[in-house]
A = this chain, B = another copy of it.
Amino acid sequence: MDKASFKPSEARQLFREEKYVGNTAGWCRGYTQAGLVILPKEDAFDFLLFCTRNPKPCPVLDVTEIGSPEPKVIAPHADIRYDLPSYSVYKDGEPAEEPKNIEQYWNDDMVGFLLGCSFSFEDALLKANIPMRHIDAGTNTGVYNTNIPCNSAGKFSGNMVVSMRPIPGNLVSRAVTITSRLPNVHGAPVYIGDPADIGIKDIYKPEWGDPPIMGPGDVPMFWACSVTPQVVALDSKPKLMIAHLSANMFITDIVTESLSIL
């Protein structure tokens, strides 16, 4: 069976049973994927406030109740302790382990934040015949630190992290309007133009992901990236923080098109 045609609940079951471990790009076409950040409840208000104040990098799809692993709004009966392929566990802000479930780390003090992922808007762009160079090449987008400050909240502050997609000049407007319709998965680009203006010295040396493939006449378009909240949260050196392993996302029951605001 093709990964693109699995229902989200079927995919989550496979991940839960550890029958598939790996990235979720291209899984469950049309359904919204989400990044995960789990923090202790003492940090939950400040972190939710940070997300509220920075909706472009941190579009909140769901937040679990304190101590509950169920993302009730986006996937009733799912369990964020088991339903992602792999996790990253950080202790005192440093990487500690990359387990396939987080049963041993979970406790009644924890809150899970599920944040919209750009895999979801790429599907909308592809449907509009906008080429995704990295998908054609079988690589990941380049992901970069910038000098764009986020709005701080309590202990959380830092600059925005962005992903870059090269788009043909005649399709830049279309890529803006299509992603504008989907603010829950990062919305419209935060910057279009010279990477140097937002503090990116060499577009071919991303901090995360792969170097981009720029076609002739391609314009660099920068979208706010969910790596932002992870970087910002880790920077505060929380005792324990759990996140999705890069590109190993939580697949929600939400049809992305249903999130469209226009």
Contacts and interface: CB of A to CB of B under 8 A. Distances in A.
Interface stretch (A43-51, A88-96, A132-140, A238-246): A43-51
Chain A contact residues (Cβ within 8 angstroms of B): what range? 20 to 34
Interface in A44-74: 44-45, 48-49, 51-53, 60, 62-63, 65-66, 72-73
A65 B154 contact: yes
A1 interface: no
B60 A52 contact: yes
Interface in A160-188: 177, 180-181, 183, 187-188
Contact of A49 (B48, B154, B187): B48
As for how many copies of this chain the complex holds, the number is 2
A137 B180 CA distance: 37
A130 interface: no
Given A180-B261, A261-B187, A261-B261, A153 B45 contact: no
Nearest to A65: B154
Which of A52, A153, A177, A180 counts the most chain B CB atoms within 10 A?
Answer: A52
A73 B53 contact: yes
A262 B177 contact: yes
A66 B262 CA distance: 35
Contact of A52 (B52, B153, B261): B52
A52 B45 contact: no
A9 interface: no
Given A48-B49, A52-B48, A60-B52, A65 B261 contact: no
A261 B187 CA distance: 9
Nearest to A45: B45
A108 to B, nearest CB: 14
A151 interface: yes
